[in-house]
Amino acid sequence: MSVSPYVTVREASQILGLSEGKIMQMIDEKKLASYKIADQYLRLKKMDVQALLNTGTIVSESTKFPYSVQERLRDFFAYNDFYIISFIFIMGLLSLIFFSK
């Protein structure tokens, strides 16, 4: 298996710690050279990406935000409300079936 001298935009974003959108913006601003392979696939030279990383001018984007317990619970109930209501309804029906005389 040969190692390619080119990387995808996604691989470059992982190497540099930036979003794919930021990589595309850098390509548009000519801060990073890109190449089209077969006039379809956008690739970047791995050496160029590593050189940009080694210059120290890239500040990684922090995409981690604090996510409180209250927000997690709110999201849980917002996305799973149908399943929770269905579970309660089915349990009610089962209790009527099995525990009624």
Strands (DSSP E) found in 1-101: 6-7, 35-37, 41-45
Q: Which residues contact 23 (CB under 8 A, 6 or more apart)?
A: 9, 12, 13, 16, 32, 44
pLDDT of residue 64: 59
Task: Output 58 or 70, whichever has higher pLDDT.
Answer: 70
pLDDT of residue 90: 97
Cα distance between residue 19 and residue 62, in whole Å:
10
Single-letter amino acid, residue 19: S
Q: Is the pLDDT of residue 81 over 70?
A: yes
Q: Is the CB of residue 42 less than 8 Å from the CB of residue 36?
A: yes
Band (pLDDT 50/70/90 cuts) for residue 63 is: low
Q: What is the pTM of this model?
A: 0.54
Query: Which residue has 């050496």 as its token pair?
Result: 47
pLDDT of residue 41: 73
Q: Report how far apart, in Å, the C-alpha atoms of 100 and of each of 32, 72, 89, 97 are.
A: 73, 38, 16, 6
